[in-house]
Amino acid sequence: MLMDQGALFWLLDVKAHGFNAGVLRDTDLSGRALIVSRQLWSLIRGNKVVSILVGPGIFKGVAESGPHRVDVLEYISALIFDPTQMRYDEPLPFVDIVNPEVIDPLSAARPEDIYSVIRKLILEKGNVLAADPLARIKYGAGVPETAHYDERLEKIRITHVSGVQRAKFILAGTNSPLYRPFVRRFRKGKYNWAKNSKVLATPFDRFSAFEDEDVLGEWMIVEKAGRTDKVGIPAIDEEYASTLSIVEQDSDAFIYEL
């Protein structure tokens, strides 16, 4: 189903074997991808179905082949993976880290007062007058003990941390090696066209150009069937442009000061 709730940041752990990364062939690729996408889309071509995230993004990781190890940094406009290749005992390798709360005008935490009933069990020695004693125990010639509840109403001040602040911590803090170059590229306008970025296509074992017909040609976006007659590269380019426009219109919710 087509979701019209805006775009989300997706943070993914990526692992691929037999991958072609630049000059290295048949490598083990591992790293993280950060991409903005309106949703996880399904692509169908013939009898083949894959999943895709479409929007401005970045991948940072390493490619290893024998003794050779190469750092990889690629700016991406789509990430394609084959869900049938995933292990069933592990969660899908993508996490929605920015829920709709992040599109939030609040940029700071806000306090709020709530009232709560505090009930505490008290055990006292001696001749205690309690409104509702639970038990009174006397040990021969010893000092008696009385167990009772103390119940009172207290005002508690709590603070809500806005979605924007959480996103800043996750993106600009913990994942700053991904987020900082993403922001720099966005501010320079280099995400303005999908063709300026690569496609991370794990079913095809390579980073490809956006115009690569073998990778993006003839696919139909399942969730858009009946809504558009575009297929392949034009359909994915249209979705990229739609996602980019959301990021540009709500740039304060996606692009934070570093």
DSSP class per residue in 32-96: EEEEEESS-EEEEETTEEEEEEEEEEEEEEEEEETTEEEEEEEEEEEEEE-GGGS-TTS--S-EE
pLDDT above 70: percentage of residues in the chain: 77
Residue 112: which pLDDT band, with cuts at 50, 70 and 90?
low
Token representation of residue 62? 């390493």
Mean pLDDT of 25-39: 93
Helix, coil or strand: residue 132: coil
Q: Is the pLDDT of residue 137 over 60?
A: yes
Token representation of residue 123? 């055990």
Tokens 């508690």 sit at which residue?
156
Give the pLDDT confidence of 35-90 residue by residue, as tens digits. 999 999 999 999 999 999 999 999 999 999 888 889 999 999 999 998 776 554 54
Tokens 């103390």 sit at which residue?
150
**β-bridge partners, 125:** 145
Any idea what the Cα angle at residue 98 is, between residues 93 and 101, rounded to 5°?
150
Closest CA relative to residue 200, chosen from 70, 92, 82? 82
Rounded to whole angstroms, how far apart are CA atoms 238 and 241? 5
Q: Is the pLDDT of residue 102 over 60?
A: no
Q: Averaging pLDDT over each range in 67-71, 107-111, 169-173, which range is the top one?
A: 67-71
pLDDT of res. 111: 59
| Rg, C-alpha atoms of the chain | 28
Closest CA relative to residue 246, chosen from 2, 79, 53, 4? 4
pLDDT of res. 109: 53
What is the end-to-end Cα distance of the chain in Å, rounded? 36
Question: How much is the pTM?
Answer: 0.72
- Comparison of pLDDT for 23 and 242, the residue scoring more: 242
